[in-house]
Structure 1
Amino acid sequence: MSGYQWLIVALCAFMNCLDGFDVMAVAFTGPSVTEEFQLTGSQFGLLVSVGLVGMAIGSMLLAPFADLIGRRPLILISLALGTIGMFGAAMAPSAPVMGAFRLVTGIGVGGILASTNVITSEFSNAKNRGLSIGIYTAGYGIGATVASLVAKAAVGGDWRVVFYAGGFGTLLALVVIAFVLPESVAFLEQRRPSGAPARINKTLTRMRMPTVTDTDLDRSAATRKEAERAGAGWLRQRLPPTVLLWITFITIMFGFYFVNSWTPTLLVEEGLSESAAVTAGMAISIGGTVGSVLYGLVARLRTPRVVLIGFSLLAAAMMIVFIVSASTLWLGFGIGVVVGALINGCIAGAYTVGPPLYPANIRSVGMGWALGMGRIGAILSPTVAGMLKDAGASATQLYIGAAMVVAVCALVLVGLRRYDPESGPAAKEALGSAS
């Protein structure tokens, strides 16, 4: 891969930072927001979930417009929505108003994630795709860590500072992307807007790849139309692996968003100071910055699906160890780093395992729907946790329950083996020769 390709991956990781900052901004300010607006556990869980509902809307409803207007314009629109939502939440006078702006932010983030995931894959070669997606996913942990640092500095002060910081960060991303990010080559080939060949060749030259002619584009268009006809009824054709992939995303995102959304609030209620709880939550964010890349590196040596099974089982076990040991801050911090690394690695694993299950002509729609369905788990986890907490469940009980959901992912991945082209004998032979 050329340096330009790695630059595009880095830009996508930067935009994924916004997701991490956004989710953790709510988590780290949870105790202060709950106190100011006098929220119950269920109400706070709903406030978290409304942003995740927005992400689902953005992923499933906004993303298809990328094929009509271009991925770059959609990302710019989504960044504008995210900027409005973050500044609006910072100035909200009440929980309902804050919830409305959280929905707007979520829609923007959902549109960003659906587009950047595809762009990362498109600008990567086959050998480094897993590592590229790992780096892209690591952006979440970086953003979450920045959110934790801002929140820690704001403890005892105004929690709204965290959301103002997120608004300025999203605005910065909007400016940078407007000047640096190119349009997707795949979109330019598909839609052929004015000046498409020149724009395509400019990008290909930067990638150190051969340029194309109008004849090449015409031939590619004819091949693509045949593939689109063959891809009609994609869900019916690939129903079993699709359902298993959806369950994989749902279970992983359930645990992921539980850990990232509820940890500081639960630790405060278990007796830790707000500063100590933010520190423990920050440990999870720090682990997340390396966990995704770690998964990508391991997946270059072993089958990605098998690596994800290991990550999910270890993540479930370490979640339980974390909540039991969190009262000892130094121990909880160390284990929190491990939990963050493992649960973020699971997200990277889901992004990596999914695409090979589909032919190239239906890969984007298959992954787009998997991301959208995964948000069911993301939406359910904070809401269910809030309801159980109001019913008297302890932090330990909630963590054990979430860990069990993550462990279910491993069982689903075992069932996915027969559909995974990278688990067959030919794939193993190729992997062995490559290593």
Structure 2
Amino acid sequence: MRDSSSSSSKPVLTIGLCFLVALLEGLDLQATGIAAPHMAKAFALTPAMLGWVFSAGLLGLLPGAFIGGWLADRLGRKNILIVAVLLFGGFSLGTALADSYATLLVARLMTGLGLGAALPILIALASEAAPEQLRSTAVSITYCGVPLGGAIASIIGMAPLGEDWRVVFYVGGIAPIVIALVLVVWLKESQAFRAQTGEKIAGQGMLAQLFGPGHASRTLLLWVACFFTLTVLYMLLNWLPSLLIGQGFSRPQAGMVQILFNLGGAAGSFLTGRMMDKGHARRAVFIAYIGMLAALAGLGLSTSFAFMLVAGFVAGYCAIGGQLVLYALAPTLYSTQVRATGVGASVAIGRLGSMAGPLAAGQILAAGTGVGGLLLAASPGLVVAAVAARALLARRNRQPQ
């Protein structure tokens, strides 16, 4: 009985620890957006320069996601995750200590490297820890940590920070270092990874499993959907507070919308995962992308604070729910030997979108198009992402895995 109880508790412990890391990741991902208005004053940043601060962190996510996944398939999920957590914690502290625009860019770049490496490992670990019928739910519970961490960042941001804008980065730096020590003691290596140790595949074998017959179309569709979904998601995550203040809302009002965006994201992540495990993946895709288009219109056109709160919640539910669909699908497309690599590659391609979104937003706003024009420009990408996600579901159902 003791062994059985211990065995049954391991998935819960693994998913719980993955959730905690995702919570810290979400806090740091939105920390720059929360601190942006104060940071812009402290460093005399123009909108275009601020766009580069956002994109520097996201640029680090790109190689981090691919390299982190690749190393995790070879050296183990646990070891690489701990290194990634220490990396983004350490350089979040570096952000707080930055004394110039250049050092700020470097700190955000290196923080992004650690954040990027962590996410595909979290997805692979959660997927491998759960029973097959609960894999999407396990990934969704893990990914719930990202918007909830963002909500914590928003709560911190609602305080009258002023010159203390660095507080959010101190929190986002010290907490990961503490959690890394917890991972050393409590996190167990993936059983699926341990079972295939010694069966390392050559680079050609890895490429075959990503792009071979029956895999290439699914991999490419996943990449397209991730790219365009993350373009819109990270544009909102980084620019939403500044956009709302630019529309005439107060900082506390912008903070409330940001909190509801993140709470909506947590709800969207969990409920979308449950829908997928119950066989309603196509319905989840429809709700996510149609809802995103409607929410973008609401955010761009509404002048009512009450309606803006609703639009913020729906935007979070649909944007993060749409990303969860892709993150839950990704581990099911690849074998254990290349799972973290495949997930990491899709996350890395998505990071191109997450980098392009804030950077493009900064340039568009600098050109004077306004909030409505910015959100309208994001809409075609959502249509492309929705079509790619639906096509991916169709191919996954037709082809053996």
Mapped partners of 2:206, 2:98: distance in 1: 49
> Against the structure 1 CA distance between its residues 60 and 159, is the aligned structure 2 distance closer, same or farther, given a 3 Å change threshold?
same
| Identity across the alignment (%) | 27
- Could you list the per-position Cα deviations for residues 277-320 of structure 1 after superposition, in whole angstroms to 9, with x for gaps in the alignment? 22222221121121100101222333324422331121121121
Give per-residue Cα distances to partners, 1:172-210, cap 9 Å, x unaligned.
Answer: 211221221112223333446xxxxxxxxxxxxxxxxxx
Q: 1: distance between equivalents of 2:147 and 2:210?
A: 33
8 Å Cα contact 1:284-1:339 kept in structure 2: yes
Q: Which residue of 1 is the match for residue 223 of structure 2?
A: 246
Q: Does 1:261 align with 2:238?
A: yes
Q: Where in structure 2 are the equivalents of 1:28-427 lying within 5 Å?
A: 28-191=34-197, 232=208, 234-237=210-213, 238-325=215-302, 327-358=303-334, 361-421=337-397
1:297–1:187 distance in 2 versus 1, CA, 3 Å? closer
Match of 1:197 in 2: none
| Alignment-mate amino acid for residue 242 of structure 1 | T
Instruction: State the alpha-carbon separation in 1 of the partners of residues 249 and 355 from structure 2.
Output: 26
Structure 1 position 151, deviation (Å): 1.2
Return closer, same or farther for 1:96/1:418 CA change in 2, 3 Å cut-off.
same
Q: For 2:79 and 2:337, how far apart are their aligned partners in 1? A: 23
Q: 1:392 corresponds to which letter in structure 2?
A: G
Partner Cα separation in structure 2 for residue 79 and residue 389 of structure 1: 34
**Any unmatched runs of 5+ in structure 1?**
193-220, 428-435
- The answer to whether the 8 A contact 2:291-2:314 is kept is no
| Residue deviations 1:384-420 (CA, integer Å, cap 9, x gap) | 0101111111112112222332232112233335412
Whole-Å separation in 1 of the counterparts to 2:52 and 2:189: 37
C-alpha spacing 1:155/1:334, structure 2 compared with 1 (3 Å): farther
SS in 2 for 1:378: helix
CA–CA distance in 2 between the matches of 1:288 and 1:67? 29
The offset of 1:72, in angstroms, is 1.4
| Greater CA drift, 121-130 or 234-243 | 234-243
1:218 corresponds in structure 2 to none
Contact 1:356/1:420, CA 8 A, preserved across alignment: no
Of residues 311-320 and 1-10 in structure 1, the stretch that sits farther from structure 2 once superposed is 1-10
The 8 Å contact of residues 253 and 347 in structure 1, kept in 2 or not, is answered as yes
Letter in 2 for 1:248: A
Partners of 1:70 and 1:90 in 2: how far apart?
31
SS at 1:416 equivalent: helix
TM-fit CA distance, 1:230: 9.1
Contact 1:317 1:403 (8 Å CA) reproduced: no
Amino acid paired to 1:288: G
Q: CA RMSD in A?
A: 2.4
Q: CA distance change for structure 1 residues 154 and 173 in 2, over 3 Å: closer, same or farther?
A: farther
Shift of 1:361: 4.9
The one-letter code matched in structure 2 to 1:379 is M
What residue is the counterpart of 1:199 in the other structure? none
Q: 1:337 and 1:331 mapped to 2: Cα distance?
A: 10
1:231, 1:361 within 8 Å by CA — same for their partners in 2? no
Tell me what 1:204 maps to.
none
Are residues 418 and 146 of structure 1, via their aligned partners in 2, closer, same or farther at CA, if it must alter by over 3 Å? closer
Compare 60-69 and 144-153 and name the one that shifted more: 60-69
Alpha-carbon offset, residue 276 of structure 1: 2.0
CA distance in 2, matches of 1:12, 1:400: 35
The one-letter code of the counterpart of 1:338 is V
The one of the two structures with greater contact order (alpha-carbon pairs below 8 A, sep at least 6) is 2
Cα shift readout 1:309-355 (whole Å, capped 9, x = no counterpart): 33112112112113322x32232123211211111111110112233
1:20–1:142 Cα contact (<8 Å) kept = yes
- Conserved in 2, the CA contact under 8 Å of 1:8 and 1:181? yes
Provide the rounded CA distance (Å) in 1 between the counterparts of 2:176 and 2:130.
Answer: 25
Deviations 1:142-172 (A, max 9, x none): 1001101111124445111111111122122
Paired residues in the alignment total 394
Instruction: Say if 2:209 and 2:334, in contact at 8 Å, map to a contact too.
Output: no
Larger Rg: 1
Normalised TM-score (structure 2)? 0.91
Of 147-156 and 230-239, more deviation after overlay is shown by 230-239
